[in-house]
Amino acid sequence: MAEQSIVWISGATEGIGAGLARHVPYPDARVINLSRRQHPELETVPFDLTDPSTWPAVVQHFERELSGFSGRRAIFVQNAHDSGTSGYAGEVDLDRIHADVTANVAAPLVLADGFLRACRPGYESGLVLLTSASARVPMQGMSVYCAAKAALEQWVRVVRRERQSRGLGPWVVAVRPGFVDTPSTRSAALRDEREYPAGPALRKALEAGVAVDPDSVARDIWAALPPPPDTSILLFGEVPDGM
């Protein structure tokens, strides 16, 4: 029998993405990882945020899988991100700025648009873009990363209204997952505070056990989906003191 649910998660090999993959709430769902790394258990479609030549294959994969889909739901969670380059504006290598914008703005929006195009009527379809508190908190040394997250959230606000005004699926929502103990969070905590002043606050919060584990936040995210019709951003957790 054909699968009733198909779920794509970019970056499902670690952190929040891995948690989301472990806790997909739909029985017998087909869960597909989009990543540079092969998932040890899940079907994987090769994809690299930093390499635009890999993006068309993912968009074509959406189209191929959904063109004849007859199940109940199709969900895409755009979770993958590049941790970005820390450093003050005007001091970071321009090639790194270009790479950060490519990975954290262009790639998510290209894949999100490709998923929208591939969805058909007749089943629930949903698009989730993981963002972060960086979209609203001005973190010194992370100007490009903060701008990228804010850009994704504004895209969601606009597209949610577009879909709603035309009565079209998929539903679209951004998610700020809160302060989560992931490899990227721990890596950020070790950055040079001259380039990323929030580093010490991150380290202190991690040592205090304030961070939520990926499995807990993944369960909370799934429990909140689909979002209320008038909601563009789902908020979880708090920003650590000193950020």
Q: How far apart are CA 62 and CA 242, in angstroms?
A: 41
CATH number, residue 84:
3.40.50.720
Q: Which domain holds residue 115?
A: 5-180+213-235
Domain count, the chain: 1
Within-domain flag for 103: yes
Within-domain flag for 242: no
Within-domain flag for 86: yes
Within-domain flag for 241: no
Count of CB atoms situated within 10 Å of the CB of 163: 17
The CA-atom distances, in angstroms, between 120 and each of 12, 100, 123 are 25, 32, 7
Within-domain flag for 203: no
In tens digits, the chain (243 residues) has pLDDT values of 578 999 999 999 999 999 999 999 999 999 999 999 999 999 999 999 999 999 999 999 999 999 999 999 999 999 999 887 789 999 999 999 999 999 999 999 999 999 999 999 999 999 999 999 999 999 999 999 999 999 999 999 999 999 999 998 899 999 999 999 988 888 888 888 888 888 888 899 899 998 999 999 999 999 999 999 999 999 998 777 766
Within-domain flag for 188: no
Q: What is the pTM of this model?
A: 0.94
Pairing of strands 30-35, 73-78: unpaired
